[in-house]
Amino acid sequence: MNQSIMVEFWNNLICPMCPIGNVKLKEAIERFPHKDNVEVVYRSFRLRPGVPPHTVREYLERNHGKGTDVPSILAQVERMGADAGLVYKMAKTLAGDTMDAHRMVQFSKPEGLQMQMVQRIHKAHFSEEENIFDKDTLVRLAGEVGLDRNAAASMLAGDTFRKEVEADELAVRQMGIAGVPFFS
Say how far apart CA 111 and CA 168 lie, in whole Å: 19
List beta partners, residue 38: 5
Reported pTM: 0.94
How many other CB atoms are there within 10 angstroms of residue 22's CB atom?
21
pLDDT of 1 > 90? The answer is no
pLDDT in tens, 88-124: 999 999 999 999 999 999 999 999 999 999 999 999 9
Cβ distance 125 to 93 under 8 Å? yes
Domains of the chain: 5-183 (3.40.30.10)
Judged by phi (left if over 0) then psi (alpha if -120 to 50, else beta), residue 85 lies in: left
> DSSP secondary structure string, 83-144?
HTT----GGG-EES--HHHHHHHHHHGGGT-HHHHHHHHHHHHHTS---TTSHHHHHHHHHH
- Sorted by sequence, the CB contacts under 8 Å of residue 9 that are 6+ apart come out as 21, 22, 25, 40, 41, 42, 43, 181, 182, 183
pLDDT in tens, 57-97: 999 998 888 888 999 999 999 999 999 999 999 999 999 99
